[in-house]
Structure 1
Amino acid sequence: MRFFVPHLAFLTFLWTISMVGQGPNSDVENELLAIGFEESILSNTLNLTDHATLYSAIKAADLDNILAFDGPFTVFAPSDKAFNILFENTGSNLLKTENKSDLQALLRYHIIAGKFTASSILKALCRGNGTATFMTIQGEALTATIQGIDIVLTDSFGNSAKITTADTNRCNGVIHTIDSVILPKKMNYLP
């Protein structure tokens, strides 16, 4: 009995501590959520001038909560210019409500689980003799290669995108800006 009482007291102490701040309006919880969002992938796309279309697309695809608080993720973020070229080539706009499932597929194809800095990608390229394959959260592969000093991503259709700005580190992952939109196979909306 002597051995049991201290353990029970200790467990009660831990339970009491864990219950403090568990309320739905906890200041600590709200502060942590604010810090997480301010330094998240989503907030970064909101604050950068060349990612306004990406931010709108993330919101339209209902991926905003995932990219604000979950992770870590690596996002290959097409610039506004890249999205404009896609919209011009297709003569349509993925941001429309009727295109939501295709927009989700497209955006998920630009995201891989885990934090892969440019250095991590280069290491994978070295191990793969100049080629590395990454599985996107869409469930399709994306191939990375080196062309000169650039890391280039290639989709299954042969479309390629160059990383133009690497390693924008956020609390829930990393963002690499790319100069073109890459396309998954599993979508109806194709140019």
Structure 2
Amino acid sequence: MKLTALRAAALSTVLAVSGVAGSAIAQDNPMVGGAAMYADKNIVENAVNSADHTTLVAAVQAAGLVDTLSGEGPFTVFAPTNEAFAALPEGTVETLLMPENKDQLVTILTCHVVAADVMSTALVGMIEDDGGSHEIETVGGCVIDAKVDNGTVTLTDENGGTANVTIADVKQSNGVIHVIDAVLLPKM
């Protein structure tokens, strides 16, 4: 019982410090990119309404993953914002969206997807149980290292690139979205 109370207290601190306690978790329909995210809609149905995720939606469409991410799931999607994609080297997004680069795009996108419904409480619990760092295997075959750093959940890709969870626990009918501020890349 003490461990559960400790875990809950730690999670409350992490979420309060990272600014998500009062936004995505407390609301039935949290706002992401200026649009309400409805728990009875699937990942794609909600993502298309977020002004902050137009690049991600275009990439999912170009990769042919709309049907997959509209499917039953469950999925956890670490969803990079438009700003995250814009931070990639100039021309990267345009190149990835070309039909001849579809396989590479699919790999990158599926390195943001976990075949499970992982809410932040579970993720923070796994990080704590593993001594402060938890490896997450993605659908794309990538391994992401999750930690809590200064009260924020951070994800490190196989190249050492890091992303911060900026909005956690955006519940979907087929899983959950956690908004992140960087694109995670497979080992190069």
Task: Return the TM-score normalized by structure 1.
Answer: 0.75
The match for 1:60 among 59, 62, 66 is 62
**Cα distance in 2, alignment partners of residues 182 and 79 from structure 1:** 12
Cα offsets for 1:22-71 (capped at 9, x unmatched): xxxxxxxxxxxxxxxx7000111101110011111111101100111230
For 1:176, what is the secondary structure of its paired residue? strand
Provide structure 2 residue ranges, at least 5 long, that are not aligned to the other structure.
1-39
Compute the displacement of 1:149 (Å): 0.7
Q: Classify 1:74/1:91 alpha carbon distance in 2 versus 1 (closer, same or farther; 3 Å).
A: closer
Higher Cα Rg: structure 1 or 2?
A: 1
- Report 1 or 2 for greater relative contact order, CA contacts < 8 Å, sequence distance ≥ 6: 2
Are positions 1:169 and 2:171 aligned together? yes
Provide structure 1 residue ranges, at least 5 long, that are not aligned to the other structure.
1-37
In structure 2, the residue matched to 1:70 is: 72
In structure 1, the residue matched to 2:133 is: 131
Cα offsets for 1:100-122 (capped at 9, x unmatched): 11100000000011000111100
**Cα distance in 1, alignment partners of residues 91 and 168 from structure 2:** 26
More helix by share: 1
Are positions 1:157 and 2:159 aligned together? yes
Task: Return the TM-score normalized by structure 2.
Answer: 0.76
Compute the displacement of 1:87 (Å): 4.6
One-letter amino acid of the structure 2 residue matched with residue 99 of structure 1 = N
One-letter amino acid of the structure 1 residue matched with residue 144 of structure 2 = L
In structure 2, the residue matched to 1:79 is: 81
Are positions 1:50 and 2:52 aligned together? yes
Sequence identity, in percent?
38
**Cα distance in 1, alignment partners of residues 62 and 89 from structure 2:** 16
One-letter amino acid of the structure 2 residue matched with residue 180 of structure 1 = A
Given that 1:83 and 1:180 are in contact with CA atoms closer than 8 Å, whether structure 2 keeps it comes out as yes
RMSD: 1.7
The match for 2:116 among 114, 117, 122 is 114
Number of equivalenced pairs: 150
Cα offsets for 1:76-98 (capped at 9, x unmatched): 00000111111527485311111
**Cα distance in 2, alignment partners of residues 89 and 147 from structure 1:** 31
Structure 1 segments (4+ residues) deviating >3 Å: 89-92
In structure 2, the residue matched to 1:143 is: 145
